[in-house]
Amino acid sequence: MPNWIDRLRGGRVNAPAESKARGMVSLSPLGEAQWSNRGFSSLANEGFAKNPVVYRCVRLIAEAANRVPLVASHDGKRLSEHPVMTLLGRPNSRQSGGEMLEAVYAYLQTAGNAYLQAGMVDGEVKALYCLRPDRMRVVPGRDGWPAAYAYTAAGRTMQLSQTTEPVPSVLHMALFHPLDDHYGMAPLDAAQTSLDIHNAAGKWNKALLDNAARPSGALVYSVAGGNLSGEQFDRLKAELEQGFAGAANAGRPMVLEGGLDWKTIGLTPRDMDFIEAKNAAARDIALAFGVPPMLLGIPGDNTYANLAEANRALWRQTIIPLVRRVTDDLSNWLAPAFDGAQITADFDGVEALAEDRSAMWARIGAADFLNDAEKRAMLGVENG
Where do the domains of the chain lie?
A: 351-384
* pTM of the shown model: 0.75
**pLDDT reported for residue 255:** 60
pLDDT in tens, the chain (384 residues): 454 445 545 554 444 444 444 444 444 444 454 555 678 888 899 899 999 999 999 999 999 999 999 999 988 788 888 999 999 999 999 999 999 999 999 999 999 999 999 999 988 999 999 999 999 999 999 999 999 999 999 899 999 999 999 999 999 999 999 999 999 999 999 999 999 988 888 887 777 666 654 545 666 766 555 666 777 677 777 776 676 665 566 666 666 555 666 676 555 656 556 678 888 999 999 999 999 998 998 887 777 778 888 898 999 999 999 999 999 999 999 999 999 999 999 888 788 877 777 777 788 888 888 888 877 777 766 655
Cβ contact 26:73 at 8 Å: no
Cβ contact 131:172 at 8 Å: no
| Alpha carbon separation from 8 to 12, 149, 175, 321, 383 (Å, rounded) | 9, 60, 58, 65, 91
**pLDDT reported for residue 250:** 61
The number of residues making up the chain comes to 384
**pLDDT reported for residue 203:** 83
Cβ contact 340:74 at 8 Å: yes
**pLDDT reported for residue 173:** 97
Alpha-carbon span 304 to 98, nearest angstrom: 31
The burial of 336, by beta-carbon neighbours within 10 Å (0-12 exposed, 13-18 middle, 19 or more buried), is given as middle
Nearest alpha carbon to residue 115 among 103, 128, 133: 133
Cβ contact 226:14 at 8 Å: yes
